[in-house]
Chain A
Amino acid sequence: MDYEIIVVGGGHAGCEAAYASAYKGHKTLLMTSNIKNIADMPCNPHIGGSAKGIVVREIDALGGIMGKVADKTHCQIKMLNSAKGVAVQSLRAQGDKITYPKEMLNTLNSLDSLTIQEGMVEDLIVEDNKVKGIILEDGTKITSNIVILTTGTYLKADILVGETRTRKGPHGERPSNHLSDKLRDYGFNIIRLKTGTPQRIAKDSIDYSKLKIEKGDDKYLTFSFDLEPQYKIEEQLPCYLTYTNERTHKIIMDNLNKSSMYGAIEGKLGIGPRYCPSIEDKVNRFKDKERHQLFIEPESRYYDDMYLQGFSTSMPPEIQEQMVHSLAGLENAKILKYGYAIEYDAIYPTQLKFSLETKILENLFTAGQINGTSGYEEAACQGLMAGINATLKLEGKEPLVLKRSDAYIGVLIDDLITKGIRDPYRLLTSRAEFRLILRSDNADLRLRRIGASVGMIDDERLEKLNIKEQKIDELKEFLKVNKLKITPEVKEQFINNNIEVPTATLSLEQLLKRPEITIEFLSSLIDIPFTDEIKEQVSIQLKYEGYINKALKEAEKMLKLEKKKIPSDINYDDIKNIASEARQKLKEVRPETIAQAIRISGVNPADISILSVYLRKEYPNND
């Protein structure tokens, strides 16, 4: 074998997969069509965002690298949803499209067992339904024990602008023309998806006086649990806000048929993301909305492009000119790159196992957009999981499967392989039923030990976690033991802050549990000798104890059903009277547990009852 693991594709999924494999010392090859595009951000400049920011923290907790690279390079960072509560708070950074890829490449280059090579992969070496390596376009064969495909949007990529369809990938890169056909030949169900991107505007052609400024937070924040902040608050770059208007909407509606997506291109088109609609879609579908928000965001400290978030389109360039110039502040804007839609092939994700190995070909793993997701973070976390599980397979160990109650990553993978997809999958907080457990603040407490158990977290980081956990216990004890005496000065503080004065001497714990009392307020009354990080963690755990317990109880219920295994040899045709749609879905997904079966769309509770009855009858010793 030339390599133990070959990763095909150098995007966010490929980088994490290659990193995980090489970090663990496995001889790894990262194949990319262009080294310059390693960890490229071809669309928006964000790392993180609602739910996604938590995923970046989870990646870091498990030993992945996206968070660290973002921390070292971003232009701005903020905590989203800070007013809506701890369960849904999530970090978002404005990444830097120049330094992020550079830093990523440096990180990868630091790994001795990783080789990065340029080349276009057009086929796999397959023997007896087992993958044994890759075949390049010139016919060169490179062998390996495991192949991980992270091809992003590059499978038969078509760029759509107005009525033109061009076979090329983002930045005009060459796409892979044959790999998806080969995959189809091997038995994969291939689907066609679509996504889009808006215009890039020259920084100095914008009239900022007409825009609302959006700054980063004035508090230091990091994705990584291991890094001190690498930036200065005052040096963060601002974003700007503008709106569409009546004129914009009229231009769009008058020219709707010129958009690729609205008939300019004939034939069936790929399915676009519901969660990230084009501006044509927004205007056309919500005709009564007078305006839509648009964010103008820096792409880098080192070049001039500003990203026009919310204005993704497949209109022809001349219409895009009109549309952009109708916006306040962009009347004289210079468009550096036009928006476009991109179509690409993906595999239907129910063909995967929980480990992200395919059910169809052994030793083939897939991660990222090839699995039907959209977004850098979604890709990165799958890359990490595929990388980890590929190494575990090499090592003869059980795969790492995160449950829905362990991590957003678990939610994402379970959604993909259990429910399949209708459109490019984006993570949302609403997809997680246990989000109070899956918080941004506790990602390390949830996942670091798991990361250590699969060889991704070294002793130094593990020791740091041990100390943190110990400190948390100490602070809890401290709050229990110490009481607040209501002296006249203390009383005055309560009154000044408009907080009801306690009538008795209470423990700090009792006080903290009151909704209106924060740990910061208590710290102003009595010395609490712990770091802010520990204080925040304990405060969340105590204040939301009731809600957290409720969520844990619900999670337990699910875990109970998760323990009800469905034998792998089950023949769904033997179960009488299960609805035919449900039977078909069950045969396709082959759920491993009752809990998973429940989540399959098209399988109704009545079907589950019948399935459960069948299991109890036919496999009485199963539970």
Chain B
Amino acid sequence: MNDTICAIATSVGNGAISIIRVSGEDAIEKVNSIFKGKDLTKVESHTINYGHIVDNDKVIDEVLVSVMKAPKTYTMEDVVEINTHGGIAPTNKVLQLLIKNGCRMAERGEFTKRAFLNGRIDLIEAEAVMDKINAQTDIQNELANNQLNGKVSNLINSLRDDMIQIISNINVNIDYPEYDDVDIITNEIMIPKINNLEEKITKILKESKNGKLIKDGIKTSIIGKPNVGKSSLLNELLEEDKAIVTEIAGTTRDIVEGQININGILLNIIDTAGIRETNDIVESIGVEKSIKMMEESDLVLFMLNNNEELTDDIKALLNKLENKNYIIIINKTDLEDKLDLTNLNINKDYIVRTSIKNHQGIDELKNKIIDLFNIKEIETKDPTYLSNSRSIGLLEQCLNDVKDVKEGINNGETIDMIEIDIRNIWEKLGQINGTSYEDELLDEMFKRFCLGK
């Protein structure tokens, strides 16, 4: 067994209780050494035990302790869960006590990593658990649940079944060339099947992209000159939304300035360093930096001052919006109209007029965002789709292969060639749900679970 690790398993906040999970070889002994009540080393597995956590003789908290012995536990190791009273102070104190007694603070995702390494869950499930841990909205959570329950796998499997039927039919034709016992696969049989597959994959992909939005949120940048009202807008949006997480550093992503929950979809306002600086020392907009931010964003909120004429800098930036999701926010509508947007190649549907100072136009802005990303549609649907980039990437490759199949058929290629692409599709679908082994998957895993140290 591995060394004993511990971590607060519930979210840190002001809930009624918090749970500290301990897993590993000495989990029961370690907890027992700070527990006053029954001797935990002697209790039955899968029991809940009342008692107190003590530091020497000083009572830290009144707790319920669940003792679960290997292998029927989440990690397949001995696991103890301590239900403490909520509140960061007592929970932290218990955690510190465990560490003092020789437990190690778990790394991010380490319980799941152990569950995977010990063979309790497969990689796809592990991926889903990681998503679930990181879930911040209800829809995110449901998406992860669907992945965890194998709904995604079923979907992929049904596509694979369609493929294997075609493949086996082709192979029988090839291996028994002179027998007429099996129908010969012709283009007339194959084309509708391939079209059907293309349709299904396209649909999953479209929905999966939404799924990714649900999971990762919409990377949003606010672009505009100093003083145009960027920080006011940010504050206003954050003000509206009570469930705020501010100044959190994403794991590998950019600094997220703030997150806004719109109908369950997160807007991640990215690296807008400077927005919050009250004294704008820099007068210029910083064209290069803005372009870079726009390129990285899923959504650009481009703020213009109603009271100013357009400068060349701004015009140049506006021209770069063409292939992006963007909303033009014309702020300071309470002041005199000096802005002229004619002759600019921008979509008038995505212009919002605001006076942030007077709290005007914020709802309209939110509605535009909902429009732009079909958020309404996403919200009401049963979210069963692929939600991580690896899977989506593979499915996109499948779609390319489907196109190759169709092109091959159109070019009159022989069936042995066509079958290569069909087999590729089947193989890649298998990689998505872990039915085919792929070495890259392991590399991905090493990245996510920092294995091998």
Binding site for B on A (CB under 8 A): 50-51, 80-81, 83-88, 214, 275, 286, 289, 292-293, 295, 428-430, 433, 435-436, 515-516, 544, 547, 550-551, 554, 557, 560-561, 564, 576-579, 594, 598, 605-606, 608-610, 612-613, 616-617, 620
User: What are 28 sample pairs from A and B whose C-beta atoms fall under 8 A apart?
Assistant: A50-B174, A50-B175, A80-B178, A84-B173, A85-B416, A85-B417, A88-B416, A214-B178, A286-B181, A289-B181, A292-B181, A293-B180, A429-B174, A430-B168, A436-B417, A515-B411, A554-B424, A577-B118, A577-B119, A605-B434, A605-B436, A605-B441, A606-B434, A609-B445, A613-B442, A613-B452, A617-B452, A620-B452
When distances are taken between beta carbons in the complex, the residues of chain A under 8 Å from B423 are 433
* Cα distance, A428 to B167, chains bound together (Å): 14
Q: How far is the CB of B80 from chain A (nearest CB, A)?
A: 21
Tell whether, in the assembled complex, residue B119 and residue A85 are in contact, meaning their CB atoms are under 8 Å apart.
Answer: no
* Cα distance, A598 to B427, chains bound together (Å): 14
When distances are taken between beta carbons in the complex, the residues of chain B under 8 Å from A428 are 171, 175
Tell whether, in the assembled complex, residue A598 and residue B416 are in contact, meaning their CB atoms are under 8 Å apart.
Answer: no
Residue of B nearest to A544 (CB): B417
* Cα distance, A616 to B439, chains bound together (Å): 13
Tell whether, in the assembled complex, residue A429 and residue B424 are in contact, meaning their CB atoms are under 8 Å apart.
Answer: no
Residue of B nearest to A598 (CB): B437
Residue of B nearest to A554 (CB): B424
Interface residues of B in 402-423 (CB under 8 A from A): 411-417, 420-421, 423
Tell whether, in the assembled complex, residue B442 and residue A436 are in contact, meaning their CB atoms are under 8 Å apart.
Answer: no
Tell whether, in the assembled complex, residue A579 and residue B416 are in contact, meaning their CB atoms are under 8 Å apart.
Answer: no
When distances are taken between beta carbons in the complex, the residues of chain B under 8 Å from A430 are 168, 171, 174-175
Interface residues of B in 422-453 (CB under 8 A from A): 423-424, 434-439, 441-442, 445-446, 451-452
New contact pairs (12) apart from A80-B178, A550-B424, CB-CB < 8 Å: A80-B177, A85-B413, A85-B417, A86-B416, A214-B178, A430-B174, A430-B175, A516-B412, A609-B445, A613-B452, A616-B451, A617-B452
Residue of B nearest to A292 (CB): B181
Which single member of B417, B421, B436, B437 contacts A87 (CB below 8 Å)?
B417
- B122 contacts A by Cβ under 8 Å: yes
Tell whether, in the assembled complex, residue B122 and residue A606 are in contact, meaning their CB atoms are under 8 Å apart.
Answer: yes
* Cα distance, A516 to B412, chains bound together (Å): 8
Q: How far is the CB of B413 from chain A (nearest CB, A)?
A: 7
- B117 contacts A by Cβ under 8 Å: yes
Q: How far is the CB of A392 from chain B (nearest CB, A)?
A: 31
Residue of B nearest to A578 (CB): B119
Tell whether, in the assembled complex, residue A84 and residue B119 are in contact, meaning their CB atoms are under 8 Å apart.
Answer: no
- B76 contacts A by Cβ under 8 Å: yes
When distances are taken between beta carbons in the complex, the residues of chain A under 8 Å from B446 are 616
Q: Could you tell me how many residues of chain B have their Cβ less than 8 Å away from some Cβ of chain A?
A: 42
Tell whether, in the assembled complex, residue B175 and residue A84 are in contact, meaning their CB atoms are under 8 Å apart.
Answer: no
Tell whether, in the assembled complex, residue B175 and residue A606 are in contact, meaning their CB atoms are under 8 Å apart.
Answer: no
Tell whether, in the assembled complex, residue A293 and residue B179 are in contact, meaning their CB atoms are under 8 Å apart.
Answer: yes
Binding site for A on B (CB under 8 A): 76, 116-120, 122-123, 168, 171, 173-181, 411-417, 420-421, 423-424, 434-439, 441-442, 445-446, 451-452
Which single member of A293, A515, A594, A616 contacts B412 (CB below 8 Å)?
A515
* Cα distance, A423 to B40, chains bound together (Å): 55
Which single member of A433, A579, A612 contacts B442 (CB below 8 Å)?
A612
Which single member of B168, B181, B415, B420 contacts A436 (CB below 8 Å)?
B420
When distances are taken between beta carbons in the complex, the residues of chain A under 8 Å from B421 are 550
Tell whether, in the assembled complex, residue B173 and residue A609 are in contact, meaning their CB atoms are under 8 Å apart.
Answer: no
Q: How far is the CB of A581 from chain B (nearest CB, A)?
A: 13
Known A-B contacts A436-B417, A605-B435; the reply to A50 vs B181 at CB < 8 A is: no
When distances are taken between beta carbons in the complex, the residues of chain A under 8 Å from B438 are 605
* Cα distance, A561 to B440, chains bound together (Å): 11
Q: How far is the CB of B119 from chain A (nearest CB, A)?
A: 3
Tell whether, in the assembled complex, residue A429 and residue B412 are in contact, meaning their CB atoms are under 8 Å apart.
Answer: no
Residue of A nearest to B119 (CB): A577
Q: How far is the CB of A617 from chain B (nearest CB, A)?
A: 6
* Cα distance, A430 to B171, chains bound together (Å): 6
* Cα distance, A295 to B177, chains bound together (Å): 13
Interface centre among A80, A84, A289, A579 (most CB of B within 10 A): A84
Q: How far is the CB of B350 from chain A (nearest CB, A)?
A: 42
Which single member of A87, A515, A608, A613 contacts B117 (CB below 8 Å)?
A613
Tell whether, in the assembled complex, residue B417 and residue A576 are in contact, meaning their CB atoms are under 8 Å apart.
Answer: no
* Cα distance, A523 to B192, chains bound together (Å): 38
Known A-B contacts A560-B439, A608-B437; the reply to A435 vs B180 at CB < 8 A is: no
When distances are taken between beta carbons in the complex, the residues of chain B under 8 Å from A606 are 119, 122-123, 434
When distances are taken between beta carbons in the complex, the residues of chain A under 8 Å from B118 are 576-577
* Cα distance, A561 to B178, chains bound together (Å): 37
Q: How far is the CB of B436 from chain A (nearest CB, A)?
A: 7
When distances are taken between beta carbons in the complex, the residues of chain A under 8 Å from B413 are 85, 515, 547
* Cα distance, A617 to B438, chains bound together (Å): 19
When distances are taken between beta carbons in the complex, the residues of chain B under 8 Å from A275 are 175
Q: How far is the CB of B75 from chain A (nearest CB, A)?
A: 11
List the 7 closest A-B pairs by CB distance, nearest first.
A85-B414, A577-B119, A85-B416, A430-B171, A87-B416, A605-B437, A515-B411
Tell whether, in the assembled complex, residue B420 and residue A551 are in contact, meaning their CB atoms are under 8 Å apart.
Answer: yes
Residue of B nearest to A239 (CB): B178
Tell whether, in the assembled complex, residue B441 and residue A293 are in contact, meaning their CB atoms are under 8 Å apart.
Answer: no
When distances are taken between beta carbons in the complex, the residues of chain B under 8 Å from A550 are 420-421, 424
Tell whether, in the assembled complex, residue B175 and residue A577 are in contact, meaning their CB atoms are under 8 Å apart.
Answer: no
* Cα distance, A86 to B420, chains bound together (Å): 13
When distances are taken between beta carbons in the complex, the residues of chain A under 8 Å from B411 are 515
Tell whether, in the assembled complex, residue A436 and residue B441 are in contact, meaning their CB atoms are under 8 Å apart.
Answer: no
Residue of B nearest to A577 (CB): B119
